[in-house]
Amino acid sequence: MLEDKNQERTALEQLGEFGLIDHLTQHISLTQKSTVRGIGDDAAVLDFNNKKTIVTTDLLIEGVHFDLSYMPLKHLGYKAVMANLSDVYAMNATATQITVGLAVSNRFPLEALEELYAGIGLACKVFNVDLIGGDTTSSTTGMLISITALGEADEANIVYRDGAKPNDLLVVSGDVGGAYMGLQVLEREKAVFKVNPNTQPDLSPYSYIVERQLKPEARKDIVELLKKLEVKPTAMIDISDGLSSEILHLCKSSKVGCNLFEDKIPLDPTVISACEEFKIDSTLVALSGGEDYELLFTVAQDDFEKIKGNPNMTVIGHMTEESEGAHLVTRGNAKIPLTAQGWNSFEKE
């Protein structure tokens, strides 16, 4: 539905592999001090001085992780970078470079890859990271994107998943569930479009959640804010799969339990109204819907005064002894065990 038939379509074989790489990367500029050499040699050269280096990779496959019938390629490029930077920020580190591995079939013209790179380039610019290399190859089916992000941090500032202690506060940035509900809206419009290709969907009431799905923003600002507030989280993770499974990761790594309070979970009003419309429980969406790329972290009780009332973060619970387990405390004050899928509705205590 996003394809414009009047657009130019330059076949990739006209450029060849090296012509394509040159074309896609011709406007790349380097700004990071740690980048000694970027694209153009056999490998990039980096110098992080006395800092620790952070590395993370994500692989995205068409039909599994993204659907190009409603995902514009520019957004896909941007989002693919966000997913990676989010992992670097979850270490409380600064993202500095990315590499991009790309496999495409001849179904994609040059113009499509230009769009993809426009999104990748924009993300690099906004988040101040250098694109320093990659690999390009053909695929027999769809598109594959693998991005590796690098970052730096002083050893003392790195936050792992395993540092949470009983009584630490559990905090989440922004709000959750939006990306999942945005996906529900897009999937519905896609189904409507299949039946009647002449319909023009009005997505304006859903703009917030559709944007959460198509153009998520990694929370670099939260890492900077925590630094400014002089709060070092005891443990941190980014929310790619859903609040519930990320909480369980923190609990397992840190060997603690947790009480998550249902009435504290931050939900945007658009998420609540979309949940009503789709007849889905908003707590289930918050716990199980993924791709919000918010940060979930724990802080010592002593730091409460520093984060209290900050509109960018919400205290949603606290950690407990491991033996107490991980629970959702409902609005009705029932304690229900958390599971990776949300919660176990059959097992009430």
> Does residue 42 have a known ligand-binding role?
yes
Q: Which alpha helices (H) appear in 176-328, and where do they start and end?
A: 178-195, 207-214, 220-228, 243-254, 269-278, 282-288, 304-307
Angle at 68 between CA 66 and CA 74, to 5 degrees: 90
Q: How many CB atoms lie within 10 A of CB 46?
A: 18
Q: Which amino acid is at 315?
A: V
Looking at this protein, which amino acid is placed at residue 6? N
Crossing angle for the helix pair 207-214 and 269-278, to the nearest 10 degrees: 100
Q: Does 121 bind ligand ADP (CB under 6 A)?
A: no
Compute the least distance from the CB of residue 19 to ligand ADP, in Å. Answer: 11
- The CA radius of gyration of the chain, in Å to the nearest whole number, is 21
Residue 18 burial (10 A CB sphere; 0-12, 13-18, 19+): exposed
* From the list Mg ion, ligand ADP, none, partner contacted by residue 134 (C-beta under 5 to 8 A by kind): ligand ADP
Residue 39 binds which entry of ligand ADP, Mg ion, none, CB below 5-8 Å type-dependent: ligand ADP
Which residues in this chain contact Mg ion in the complex, by CB under 5 A? 135
Buried b (16+ CB within 10 A) or exposed e, 250-265: bbeebebbbbbbbeeb
Q: Which does 307 bind (CB under 5 to 8 A by kind): Mg ion, ligand ADP, none?
A: none
Separation CA 50–CA 154 (nearest Å): 8
Under rule CB under 6 A, which residues in 127-186 are in contact with ligand ADP? Answer: 131, 133-136
Phi-psi region of 342 (alpha: psi -120 to 50; beta: other; left: phi over 0): left
Residue placing its CB nearer to ligand ADP in the complex, 115 or 262? 115
Q: Which is nearer to ligand ADP, 81 or 235 (CB)?
A: 81
Number of shown-chain residues binding ligand ADP (CB under 6 A)? 13
Residue 268, marked binder? no
Query: Hey, which residues between 8 and 67 contact ligand ADP (CB under 6 A)?
Result: 21, 25, 39-42
| Shortest Å distance, C-beta 22 to Mg ion | 13
In the complex with ligand ADP, which residue's Cβ is closer, 42 or 347? Answer: 42
Minimum distance, C-beta of residue 20 to Mg ion, in the bound complex (Å): 12
In the annotated binding site for substrate, the residues are 65, 291, 343
In the annotated binding site for Mg(2+), the residues are 42, 56-58, 87, 135, 238, 241
Binding footprint of ligand ADP on the chain (CB under 6 A): 21, 25, 39-42, 100, 102, 131, 133-136
